[in-house]
Chains A and B, each alone.
Chain A
Amino acid sequence: MNRKMISLLLGVLLVLSIASMATAMGDGNARKGKFLYRKHCRTCHGDSASDLSPNSKTQAGWTATFSDTSKIQCSPDWNGVSEKDLNDIFTYLHDFAKDSPTPAKCS
């Protein structure tokens, strides 16, 4: 395989990996995410853990936090939360972040 071909393949792989990262987080169902956030996250956050709402971070902040969910302190406790549900939760937090077009109000 010549060098040009390898570069091309690497390029394609890079694009695919970026695309898969993008589809992994975002474009979920924010409304479902709100329900799931309340169900899975708010049981601790706002009670025994830090008070947290979409308004706690910027959109970039949520994207950074969810870029590697294994680094989120409470992730070992997320039993039974599917990837799809996690993406919905991320979408909710991101879409109503403090610098979003509609920052969340408390509820």
Chain B
Amino acid sequence: MAKDNMKLSRRDFFKASGLIAAAAAGSVPVLGGLEPSLAHAAQSSGEWSSAYSVCDMCFNKCGCIARVQDGVVKKLDPNPKFIKSRGMLCARGNAGVAQLYDPDRLKYPLLRKGARGEGKWQRIPWDEALDLMAEKMQDIRKKYTSCGHLFSAGADLQSQFVGRFAEVYGSYNVTSHESLCLLSGSRAFLDTFGEVPFADVLNSKYIIMAGANRFEALVTPDSIDLMTAMQKGTKLVVLDPRYTKTAALANEWYPIRPGTDMAFMLALAHVIINEKLYNETWIQDKTYGIDQLREHVQKYDPRFAAEECGIPAEDIARIARELAAAAPAAMIYPGRRTSDYKNSTQIRRSFAIVNALLSNWDQPGGLLAAREVGLKGVPYDAPWYDDNPDDRVDAHKVPMMFEHDGSFVLTRDAVLSGKPYPIKGWFVYKTNPLGTAPNRAKTIEMANAMEFMTVVDVAMSDTAWMADLVLPAPSSLERQDPASGLQGSVACACVVQRDAVVPAMYESRPVFDILKSVAGKLELGEYFDFTIEEYREKQLRGLPNAANALAEDGVYYNPSKVYGIYEDRVYKTLSKKIELYNSRYEGMGVDPMPVYSPPSKVPKNRFRMVVGRSAMVTQTSSQNNAVLHQLTGPNTLWLNTASAKNLGIQPGDTVEVASSVGRGELKVEITDGIREDTVYMLSGFGALSPQLSLIFGEGASMSAVLQEGYDEICGNAALHETIVSVTRKVAS
């Protein structure tokens, strides 16, 4: 089957190449670059070499070893010395080879010739592409100031150079992928503990996982450690409107009404406080606001929460007691993607507060502070531009946005309104807001509002499809990257880096080289006057043993303290304690403790749409992978059995899922594993770009259907506020 599919994908590749050639004005189709793939089948010398690398199939950055034969990467093995992933590499990581040799990869610079998104491209030489990029950036700066150019970058080891370029160019407007993902949780835990913690899943005895799906949405080492811990007797309670694989393996699963997690958490706090199930000395010593919290949670008893959440009151009370009995080796798992609701920061604050009541901070089985990695920054002195506006374009819309990440949703609104000032240039590196941000139609409008848009990526993402200039980047196995510090919870604090395992294919160039070249043309060359090797030396200057360890083991571990980090440290909050009651919020007019408000009611025969990830694919970035595509896709719409019956929908039917902003068509998956008032679809799919040949037009894109909304405290996207209709389109 695999062989057949590979053949099919190559046919698609030739077909796509032919289409590109037909569309290209005056360019010759180049089918070169297939050589390494063809070499696959050629006679081999039998000689192998191995090289350390770092996986790029999701954000976890697990260590791996590339096995190379005759210049071709044949296999990726786990690095047994990489303990963040417990010496393992997942199935998705193994498929990294197919990413490298994906026939759909971008191969040379392309300039848009037709209307935006029409798909007419001209191949141009690199010199011309870089001159054009520099010229347009200069034009935009002259017309709109440097802040008139937006920069967006994904979670890549070279993304730091995009931030550096933006700053020396003079733009404050930089957005990361994080404002479509994890910022609400970061905000909440930072505002409670003074930093964003890591969960010691391995040593925890009792874990409540709400709004997280760790056996499918993999995080290393948490996913692996959770399995190990459960084998040793750790109890896992899952709250999820959907019967996920995590729910299936849990000791208890409660199909909670979406958007009511805060009521559950406040009820846990109610029981723990009223029954004095907390460590009074610890709470008095380490926390601020227990008296206010006691008063605050009185109205949130288990009976109240039961009504809201659809979970029996006696179970809530029992879980609170069991959780407290296991403390401090017990936790409410903080989770990762928290871009759910307009009040997601406050929802996650309620998670953080219960953790504080368990006295689990800095303790085995609890929440851990970031460990010392020891990697140094590489300072630079960016110039100052007097003509710039005062602030980011998305500033002052929410009280506590993260300066370094911004808010994609708010930035998009500002671009479309032209206020407070126009943004007319957009540089995007390895992130795909057309596939990940809510309300895709609006993101298309945003692209249309640009005078010039450049995308650097490995493949023609939907966002690249909308660009003026598309530049091919090498995959992670073909380039040298800076060192990166990783937090591996109780497993490790480590440093990894990448060197090219095989030479860059086609005409691909790393974004570092692109930015360095353009910086030179804009008389900013002094800020990129180094090689990656020199940059890494500076990063590692405080770690004399790191370079050797990286060469020998593919990873450097800092044997830094794991527990008790705060024994002699002051909490980085205004009160210098863990803030049950947030004194800064009070000063800003924000509720200092989470106040529950019920989610909007779902009308009859309508559904709240929730989205998630699978273990096999990472949103749009790996769905076009020939190996993974055999395992996952197209996505389906999970619909409850009774709801399907009400709507006359049969198994295998194609349905239309529609919201006030968009629609999508996909196959239905009728199941008892989801609430009657909720539907679910896997993120990604429904691609607009025909150059993602395996997923083009396949399934539906969540970004097309989700309404935009944002966290009212930090500007993170709110993806679970959308109510949809479901209609039968094509019978099975």
Contacts and interface: CB of A to CB of B under 8 A. Distances in A.
B379 A105 contact: no
Interface string B485-496: 000000000000
Contacts of B404: 102, 105
A32 B402 CA distance: 18
Contacts of A31: 172, 390-391
A98 interface: yes
A35 B384 contact: yes
Contacts of A46: 379
Contacts of B403: 96, 102
Given A29-B390, A31-B172, A105-B404, A99 B381 contact: no
Contacts of A42: 379, 381
Interface string B392-423: 00000000111110000000000000000000
A101 B187 CA distance: 8
Contacts of B570: 58
Interface residues on chain B, size class: 20 to 34
A32 B384 contact: yes
B572 A106 contact: no
A38 B572 contact: no
B379 A103 contact: no
B19 interface: no
Contacts of A71: none
B30 interface: no
Interface in A4-50: 29, 31-32, 35, 38-39, 42, 46
A75 interface: no
A102 B402 contact: yes
A98 B572 contact: yes
Given A98-B572, A99-B194, A106-B376, A39 B381 contact: yes
Contact of A107 (B379, B384, B576): B379
B572 A107 contact: no
A43 B379 CA distance: 11
B573 interface: yes
Interface in A41-64: 42, 46, 58-59
A98 B376 CA distance: 17
A59 B584 CA distance: 12
B572 A101 contact: no
A99 B569 CA distance: 13
Interface in A66-106: 96, 98-99, 101-103, 105-106
Kindly name the residue among A46, A98, A102, A107 whose own CB sees the greatest number of chain B CB atoms within 10 A. Answer: A107
A106 B390 contact: no
Nearest to B405: A102
B665 to A, nearest CB: 42
B172 A38 contact: no
Contacts of B647: none
B381 A38 contact: yes
Given A35-B382, A99-B573, A106-B379, 15 more contacts: A35-B383, A38-B382, A39-B381, A42-B381, A58-B570, A96-B403, A99-B572, A99-B576, A101-B584, A102-B401, A102-B402, A103-B190, A107-B167, A107-B379, A107-B380
Interface of A: 29, 31-32, 35, 38-39, 42, 46, 58-59, 96, 98-99, 101-103, 105-107
List the 3 shortest-distance A-B pairs measured between CB atoms, nearest first: A106-B377, A35-B384, A102-B403
Interface of B: 163-164, 167, 172, 190-191, 194, 376-377, 379-384, 390-391, 400-404, 570, 572-574, 576, 584
14 contacts: A31-B390, A35-B382, A35-B383, A42-B379, A58-B572, A96-B403, A98-B194, A99-B572, A101-B400, A102-B401, A102-B402, A103-B190, A105-B377, A107-B163
